[in-house]
Structure 1
């Protein structure tokens, strides 16, 4: 849910913020990754999480 919320706050529509890696969330991840010169693979890599400002710690 934190990744979806971060995508939404940065102007990328992940669909429902429900913690599900849906097709729409993957599409938003790919768009974000492309815009930030990251591999556009819709995976939540460390580089992607860092770029989103999402921490793995609570």
Structure 2
């Protein structure tokens, strides 16, 4: 997974960095950004796979 945000200098944290954070940082802005990024990538992959499946079924 790319850890850089498209079109910006902002770098998303890695899973290792997230897991190393203290419990007091639970769901802080950086962690919310991490999960938003993960969900966005997963959604894009799901849509791409669904489109490919549709092509194969035709």
Higher relative contact order (Cα pairs below 8 Å, separated by 6+ residues): 1
Structure 1 or 2: more helix by fraction = 2
Q: Which has the larger radius of gyration?
A: 2
Superposition TM-score, scaled by structure 2 size: 0.37
Superposition TM-score, scaled by structure 1 size: 0.37
